[in-house]
Amino acid sequence: MRGPHNLWRLIRTGATFERTGAMKVALEAMEAPPRLRALARVLGWPFKWLGYAGDPALPPITRAITALGPAYIKFGQVLSTRPDVVGVELSNQLRVLQDKLPPFPRATAVRVIESELGRPLNDILSELSEPVAAASIAQVHRARTAATGEEVAVKVLRPGIERAFRRDIDAFHFAAGLIELLSPASRRLRPSDVIAHFESVVAGELDLRLECSSASEFADKTAKDKGFQVPKPYWQFSSRRVMTLGWAEGIPLGDVEAIRAAGHDCVALAERVMQLFLSHALRDGFFHADMHQGNLKVAPNGDLIAFDFGIMGQIDEYTRRVYAEILIGFIRKDYRRVAEVHFEAGYVPADRNIDDFARALRAVGEPIFGMEASQISMARLLSYLFEVTERFGMQTRTELILLQRTMVVVEGVARSLDAHINIWQVARPVVESYIRENVGPQALLRDILRTARVLGRFGPKLPGLVETMLSERTSPPPAPARLGLPAALGLVSLGVAATLAIVGIAALF
C-alpha cells in the first residue's frame, strides 16, 4: 500500500491547497521566503484542477484541510493552538477543526450504537440528542441512560474512518521515504519513524475501548489534583466504536470571552493548564496528549474538565528525570548542565563538543528569559532550535514526540488565556518539586531500595547455586558457559549486600 501510487495522493494534496487558495495563505502565515512562495505557486498551478473543492463557506486553510481528510485535520488541530507560529487570524480559522466539523446523521449514530452494544437504543438510552460536537474521528451526543437517568456523553466513530486514516497514513509513509531518499540529511530526523509513531497513536484512537481504559486510568492517577476533573467512564455502554462518559457541563476553553463573562480568572486557568500537564507528565509519566481547547472545559466551580482520551502519552521514569533536568537547567540558566544531560542521555553524539553545545543552548534560552510570551516569536525560536539540532547531529526521539507536541499545544492553550504568561516562571515550582523528590538523595535511596529488593529475591537460591558451582569445580572439564567459583562468591556478596541494604534503608524510613 506504500508504493508510488501514493504520489497521486500527495499531488492532490498540493492541488487542493492551490485550488482552495490555502497555499498562498499558508505560505504567508509561515513567513516563507519569496522564492519558496513563487516556486510553490508555479509548481502547484498546473495541478490546480486536480484538487478537492472543499466547502466554499469555510476559510481557505480550513476548507483545504477538511477536504483532505482526518489525518490532515489532526495536523491542523495542532496548528490551531499556535497563533505565535501561524498568526492569530489563521489560528482562529483552524479552531473549527477541534470540535465543529460537519457531523454525520443521528440515524447513522443510532445504527452504530445498536450494532455495537447489541441492544435496541431504547433499552440503553432514554434520550439521545443531535450531535453536539464533531471532530476528525468521532462525534458526541448528549444522552440519558434508560436505567438510572444519568446524563452522559456518547462518542461514536465516524463511518469509514479507519479506511480514510489508512489511506492518508500510507501517503505519509511514502512521503517520508521520498524525503529520506532525496535528502539524506533529513534521516537524522527519522521521518519514517515519526510517521510510524503517529500511526500507532492513531490506531489506539480508533478503538474506543482503549480510550475508555485510558480515561479510567487517568481518573485514578489525577483523583487528588485540585481543580481538575475527569468524567466517569461507563464500561457497560462502551465498545470498539462507541464510548460513554459522564456528561461534563462547562464552558469550552476556547471561548475566552464567555469564560471571562462567567467571572473565571483566565490568568489562573492558564497557569493551571501548564502546571497540570507538567505534573501529569513528570509525576505520573501518563498525560493527556491532545490538550487543545476543544478537549477542555471550565466547570461552573472553576475546575478544569478534560475529555477525549484517545491520545495519551507515556514516558518511563528515566526519561522523565532527563526531561526534568533539561527543564530545570533552562529555568536556572545552567546551560552547561543542560548540555551534559543531553550527552549523558545519548541525545547528542559523544564526538561533539559539549562546550559548543552549551553555548548554542544559551543562544536559544537567553533571548526568551524575562520576556513576555507575546514578545517571543515561537516560529523564529523553533527555526533556530532546528538549526542547533542539525549542527550537533541530534536525532528525533520518537519516544518524546508526544511529549514535545503536547508541550507545544499546551503552551498555545495557555497563551490563548493569558497572552503575557511566562511559561518558565509557571513551570518552575512543578519541575523543582519533581527534582527534589526524584533526582536528589531521597530518590537515590529509593532506587537503592528497589535494587536491593530485586537482588534479595535471589537470596533463597544462593546456597543451591553456590553448592552446584562448587561441585562443578571438581568435575573437569568445567563447562565454559557456566559460572565458576568467583562468580558464585560474587553472587553471595550481592545477596549479602542486598540483605544489608534492605535492613539499613528500612531503618531510615
Tell me the catalytic residues: 290
Strand runs (DSSP E) across 228-307, as ranges?
A: 228-229, 242-246, 251-252, 286-288, 296-298, 304-306
Q: Number of C-alpha atoms within 13 angstroms, CB side, residue 186? A: 13
* β-strand pairing of 304-306 with 228-229: parallel
Is residue 194 left, alpha or beta, with left meaning phi > 0 and alpha meaning psi from -120 to 50?
alpha
- Residue 470 identity: L
**Residue 34 phi, psi dihedral angles, 5° rounding:** -55, -40
What DSSP line would sit under 361-398, residue for residue?
Answer: HHHHHGGGTT--GGG--HHHHHHHHHHHHHHTTPPP-G
Cα–Cα distance for residue pair 451/407, rounded to 1 Å: 33
Round to whole Å and give the CA distance between 275 and 294: 19
Number of other CB atoms surrounding residue 163 within 10 Å: 9
Q: Are 230 and 198 in contact (CB under 8 A)?
A: no
What single DSSP character describes residue 483?
A: -
State the chain's maximal CA–CA distance in angstroms: 89
CA atoms within 13 A of residue 39's CA, in its CB half-sphere: 5
Residue 352: C-alpha distances to residues 160, 325, 326, 334, 348 (Å): 49, 20, 18, 19, 7
